[in-house]
Amino acid sequence: MRLGLAGTVLLSAAAYYVYLPLPSGVSEPWKLMLLDALFRSFMQASDVAHALGVCHRIHLLNHVVSLVEEIEAHSCPAVHVTDTTLAGVPTRVFQPKGGKQLKRGVIYFHGGGWALCSGRMRSYDLLCRKMAEDLDSVVMSVDYRLAPDAVFPAQYHDALAASRAFLSAEVLDRYSIDPERVCVSGDSAGGNLAAAVAQELSSDDSLTVNFKLQALIYPVLQALDFYTPSYQQNRDVPILYRPIMARYWLQYLGADTSLEPVLLANNHSSLDQLALSSSIRSKVDWTALLPAKRRKHFRPVVRETGSPRVMGEIPQLIDVRAAPLLAEQGVLGRTPKAYVMTCEFDVLRDDGLMYVRRLQDAGVTVTSDHYEDGFHGCMVFAYLPMMSKVGWRSMNNYIHWLDQNL
Ligand SMILES: *[C@@H]1O[C@H](CO)[C@@H](O)[C@H](O)[C@H]1NC(C)=O
């Protein structure tokens, strides 16, 4: 009797912890709730450890992730897998065993807010393995340095140095990669790095080999407006809550994370910020860049007065290497043919959709692949235990696009 009561109480408590009202239309809401409960419990545990001074919350999270998720490089019948370095940056390489003599090539940057995760994780390993096999392509998954130990521009520099090495005659030759068929890609914070690298390298005339394609999966592209319609609509949608994204930005830029409320108030992009010219503002102006269908009923939040010193303290906020959406049209126009994946239930949806529009305005051919039932991160949850349907569908469409275009 007492046991039954205790059981009921425990179950109710668990259900209460897991249950979260989700917007209708999101793919498999119960799976997302469970995933969110798992993430939330890790985050809360790491916050406690952080507050107690045991260790930095990010170190604890990464430790758990590596214990649970990281796997050794092991080959399978179709793909040869090894750990190596590109320009000194640790990289896992996936080489198809059969197929053509000359392979296609993809360099991939994993997500995780520039602070978490690794290309050695099971989910990324499986994704890259599948790409290598399905595309008959050499895939290089780069483990750039992470915050808080390394901050901007370290992540960017690692991604850039690895990409330059990837495009070098020596590496292309060693791995039998066709120099005419190479792509840069990444998801979330990795999509940010891929976009930034594509901009830098496509404007570099000294290179003899350049990327044919850029494929960006729900990329992070700007930190000036935390009130885009997608930030407003999805503020409470797991797994990337609005305040978490603001914190990741501050951490990446090496700024004080106590400035989180300033960013969340859009006080850093108020009209009294002299560093923000109208030209910069126009590049993130979603009232002009988004179609009415996505703007919905949302209103822009622009403060007359804010926290004017912030832009001086964190000038990286308007550095195009950190925020690729701020690039000039001329720079965008030189970047390769693009694929941009966006999800309806993602605070970063409009970062991606605005980039699609800006690339198109600059004359770049873009495939905008939008998932009406997608949530942030869905593509890496395609496999067990989540087996997300939208994750599986989006992953296959992404690989299909590469197959058709690379
Ligand atoms: C934002 O700026 C306004 C005006 O300067 C100020 O009153 C408010 O406290 C600021 N909010 C945050 C969170 O910094």
Contact at 8 Å (CB) between 60 and 45? yes
Average confidence score pLDDT of the chain: 95
Cα–Cα dist 279/366, whole Å: 23
26-406 architecture in CATH?
3-Layer(aba) Sandwich (3.40)
> How close are the terminal C-alpha atoms of the chain, in Å?
65
pLDDT at 319 over 90: yes
Span from the CA of 311 to the centroid of ligand 1 (angstroms): 14
Q: Choosing from 143, 346, 350, 351, which is the catalytic residue?
A: 346
Tokens of 204: 């570099």
User: Which of these ranges, 17-21, 180-184, 382-386, has the smallest mean pLDDT?
Assistant: 17-21
Residue located nearest, by CA, to atom 1 of ligand 1: 306
279 catalytically annotated:
no
pLDDT-derived band of residue 1, with 50, 70 and 90 as boundaries? low
Q: Choosing from 188, 230, 270, 388, which is the catalytic residue?
A: 188
- Containing 289, the helix (H) or strand (E) segment is helix 286-289
Query: What pLDDT, on the 0 to 100 scale, is given for residue 314?
Result: 96
Query: What pLDDT, on the 0 to 100 scale, is given for residue 364?
Result: 98
| Residue 265 in contact with ligand 1 by CB distance below 6 A | yes
Partners of 91 in the β-ladder? 84, 142
Span from the CA of 313 to the centroid of ligand 1 (angstroms): 16
47 catalytically annotated:
no
Query: What pLDDT, on the 0 to 100 scale, is given for residue 66?
Result: 87
Cα–Cα dist 203/213, whole Å: 14
The domain ranges of the chain are: 26-406
Q: What is the pLDDT of residues 252-302, one digit of tens each?
A: 999 999 999 999 999 999 999 989 999 999 999 999 999 999 999 999 999
What are the residues whose beta carbons fall under 8 Å from the beta carbon of 18, sequence distance 6 or more? 33, 34, 36, 37
Q: What is the pLDDT of residues 164-191, one digit of tens each?
A: 999 999 999 999 999 999 999 999 999 9
Query: What pLDDT, on the 0 to 100 scale, is given for residue 99?
Result: 86
Q: What is the pLDDT of residues 184-224, one digit of tens each?
A: 999 999 999 999 999 999 999 999 999 999 999 999 999 99
